[in-house]
Structure 1
């Protein structure tokens, strides 16, 4: 009678252990994004951003990856700047794109902002390069 309880307990522990170890593995999947920014139809500036581990040629990969992690790679919901800065009313349109993979999920993002200040208020450090 005690053996079935021990086996059931062992099976439950095994199932919990499998779930616990699967979560960090999914969160640690490498992410690679190609980011572009172009003002007024000019030649785009292109950088590569890798996360988990942080790297690429993005000037502040650590902060950009941290901000992406906060929204699970959903750029539309980026936290933006800490304190939304008052932006001057200077019209210098900037178009940004992001393509690649975030933890195994396809990312395709494009948006246009009035100027770099508005872009930073909406997307934090991600396109600040």
Structure 2
């Protein structure tokens, strides 16, 4: 035994308290909860059977991924508390041309699962309803 360990063992045997750090015991590290995951795979399709394009959007811990407007899209999603039906609507007119597009989002927002699919009459209506989230 090392002399320091012998001295500590003697003190413990005598009932003296020894700080954990002095006894060579590991100290308790401060534990922080991991940041809840916010990662969505977004797609836009002409019909339910045809996939046009998709992009990964990560919002936590910071906006990243291949989305061209990641920071703005993450801010809009956060403002709607992850509810894509509550995204702020743009104020601009769209034609009545029927050329349906299907938008979907799957993944998680701040640790809660997201599975969202909605059909819009055309690309303009999608853009008005979802802002920058599906603008890729």
Kindly indicate whether residue 129 of structure 2 is the aligned counterpart of residue 122 of structure 1: yes
Which of residues 69, 78, 84 is equivalent to 1:69? 78
Which of residues 76, 80, 87 is equivalent to 2:89? 80
* Range with bigger deviation, 105-114 or 42-51: 42-51
Kept in 2: contact 1:85–1:117 (CA 8 A): no
Backbone CA RMSD of aligned residues: 1.7
The separation in 1 between residues aligned to 2:105 and 2:123, in whole angstroms, is 16
Aligned to 1:96: 103
Q: TM-score, normalised by structure 1?
A: 0.73
Residue correspondences, number: 103
> Shift of residue 30 of structure 1?
3.3
Aligned to 1:42: 50
What 5-or-longer segments of structure 1 have no aligned partner? 1-21
What 5-or-longer segments of structure 2 have no aligned partner? 1-31
Kindly indicate whether residue 66 of structure 2 is the aligned counterpart of residue 57 of structure 1: yes
Deviation beyond 4 Å, 4+ runs, structure 1 = none
Q: Secondary structure at the match of 1:63?
A: helix
Kept in 1: contact 2:43–2:51 (CA 8 A): no
> Shift of residue 80 of structure 1?
2.5
> Shift of residue 86 of structure 1?
0.4
In terms of fraction of residues, the more helix-rich structure is 1
